[in-house]
């Protein structure tokens, strides 16, 4: 089913110098035939590109570029500017489920939306209630529902007008936008929006979080322009099974970028696939390894893959949670590869079967891999 056009996609395409009919996923900070908004253009110098961004009519793909913005004292623009622009284009509703939030420009965009009559609703983690973004919204009368429990509400997604979904690994924080490695997708699809709205309302309306949430996603598999997209939420969505199935189905290669990787089942599948001749390589977040999250690192090292895994080279955090299978299937979202992501936290994952998107994520993986050690 083809997605219904959302006004923001045409508007932001104009801002970026793109044709509205051909939404070109943009790797921020990399050379591309676009003119970024003035703030971004002033603070995001270009860097060598690792891959040519694909073209699609239903999504924008963004990566942070901390190798550049991490050197700037006061970076701005980039992904937060695109999210704010999309919120400024909202006509009826914005539903936001966000773990951490301190970005003023996105806060301001939500307040502008509220002022013009858009219904703005927010779900967050209880530990984030005192963060600047959440606190400002609550003080302005925006309804905010916390999870009020020990495991975390770890989602990072927004649904605009029931037509557009933002999701990925980036919290709405300065550090995640400008210091850490992250990825975000803006997907135009009413069916995908229904999936995310359904999950959001469990939390916002019924205050059901974690294992109290029943797995009943309206459209667990959708098709956009020939691309198969699987949607999973955890807990209770058997997310790990579906991810492991994707890994086990690899015919040529598996590449990964993992902030927190402690699932032994995933680790064993990687070992099995490497033994079967697949090219298995990946980057782990160094700080998580140092903090004791090294179970899979040790499995792979002891299993003969020491030369195929690296610690990230970012002095802050490599915060991605991504598998790239055969450069044609992408697993991405808020879901760390851990037991808590599967069994306790509120998380979301997309498994996208699209070679063009796989090529773009592989280009980002190559950059992270080259910076690793």
In order of 27, 187, 217, 334, the CA distances from 222 in angstroms are 25, 12, 11, 20
Can you tell me the distance from the alpha carbon of 151 to that of 156, in angstroms, rounded to the nearest whole number?
15
Closest CA to 340 of 321, 324, 360: 321
The DSSP string of 182-249 is -EEEEEE-HHHHHHHHHHHHHHHTS---GGGS----S-SEEEETTEEEEEEEESSS-HHHHHHHHHHT
Q: Give the number of other CB atoms < 10 A from CB of residue 71.
A: 9
Can you tell me the distance from the alpha carbon of 217 to that of 99, in angstroms, rounded to the nearest whole number?
21
Packing angle between helix 78-88 and helix 104-115, nearest 10 degrees? Answer: 0
Please state the three-class secondary structure of 85-143 as a single string. HHHHCCCCEEEEEECCECCHHHHHHHHHHHHCCCEEEEEECHHHCCCHHHHHHHHCCCC
Any catalytic annotation for residue 156? yes
Any catalytic annotation for residue 208? no
Tokens of 259: 């902030």
Identified catalytic residue from 6, 125, 147, 154: 154
Task: State the pairing for strand pair 279-284/309-311.
Answer: parallel
Closest CA to 230 of 332, 322, 320, 151: 332
Identified catalytic residue from 60, 156, 202, 353: 156
**Residue pair 73/43 in contact by the 8 Å Cβ criterion:** no
Identified catalytic residue from 95, 125, 147, 161: 161
Any catalytic annotation for residue 161? yes
77: left (phi over 0), alpha (psi -120 to 50) or beta: left
DSSP 8-state secondary structure symbol assigned to residue 54: P
Active site residues: 154, 156, 161
């Amino acid at each position: 089913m083809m997605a219904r056009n959302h006004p923001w996609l045409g508007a932001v395409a104009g801002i970026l110098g793109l044709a509205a009919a051909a939404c070109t996923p943009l790797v921020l900070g990399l050379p591309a035939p676009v003119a970024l908004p003035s703030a971004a253009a002033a603070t995001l110098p270009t860097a060598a590109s690792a891959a040519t961004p694909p073209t699609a009519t239903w999504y924008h793909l963004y990566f942070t570029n901390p190798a550049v913005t991490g050197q700037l004292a006061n970076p701005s623009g980039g992904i937060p500017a695109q999210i704010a622009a999309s919120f400024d284009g909202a006509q009826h509703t914005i539903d936001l489920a966000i773990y951490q939030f301190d970005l003023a420009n996105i806060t301001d965009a939500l307040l502008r939306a509220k002022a013009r009559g858009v219904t703005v609703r927010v779900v967050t983690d209880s530990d984030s209630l005192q963060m600047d973004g959440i606190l400002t919204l609550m003080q302005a009368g925006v309804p905010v529902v916390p999870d009020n429990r020990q495991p975390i509400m770890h989602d990072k997604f927004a649904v605009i007008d029931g037509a557009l979904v933002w999701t990925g690994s980036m919290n709405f924080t300065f550090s995640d936008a400008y210091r850490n490695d992250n990825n975000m997708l803006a997907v135009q699809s009413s069916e995908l929006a229904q999936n995310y709205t359904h999950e959001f309302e469990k939390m916002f309306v019924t205050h059901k979080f974690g294992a109290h949430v029943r797995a009943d996603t309206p459209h667990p598999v959708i098709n956009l322009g020939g691309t198969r997209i699987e949607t999973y939420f955890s807990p209770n969505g058997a997310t790990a099974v579906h991810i492991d199935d994707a890994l086990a189905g690899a015919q040529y290669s598996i590449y990964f970028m993992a902030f927190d990787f402690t699932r032994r089942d995933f680790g064993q599948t990687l070992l099995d696939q490497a033994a079967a001749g697949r090219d298995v390589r990946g980057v782990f977040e160094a700080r998580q390894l140092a903090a004791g999250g090294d179970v899979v690192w040790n499995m792979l090292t002891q299993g003969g893959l020491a030369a195929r895994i690296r610690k990230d080279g970012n002095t802050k955090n490599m915060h991605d949670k991504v598998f790239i299978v055969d450069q044609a299937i992408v697993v991405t979202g808020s879901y760390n590869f851990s037991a808590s992501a599967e069994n306790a936290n509120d998380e979301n994952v997309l498994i996208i079967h699209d070679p063009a998107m796989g090529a773009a994520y592989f280009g980002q993986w190559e950059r992270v891999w080259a910076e690793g050690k």
